[in-house]
Amino acid sequence: MSRYTLFTTIDLSQCFHSFRIRKSDRPLTAFRTPDGVQLQFKRAPFGLTPISSVVQRSLTNLFADLDYVNG
């Protein structure tokens, strides 16, 4: 790592919420509150199984053209 002179961090704590869930898939995220109200997500919540790979693929594509990015 000594050949690199610049390091950075990216705060991805809320990145999952930037991905919309297809309308036809929203019922798969449905749940009921204790008072009986049924809710479903419009955007991906943290912990949704396939979203981690979607985020990784998006980041890889975003930085793919940068020669100085290793990873």
From first to last of its 71 residues, what are the pLDDT tens digits of the chain? 566 667 778 888 788 888 999 999 999 999 999 999 999 999 998 878 788 888 888 888 888 887 776 65
Cα 35–41–44 angle (5° rounding)? 140
The reported pLDDT for the residue numbered 14 is 83
What is the structure's pLDDT at 41? 95
The domain ranges of the chain are 9-44
Confidence (pLDDT) at 26:
95
What region does 58 belong to: left with phi over 0, alpha with psi -120 to 50, or beta? alpha
Residue type, 46: F
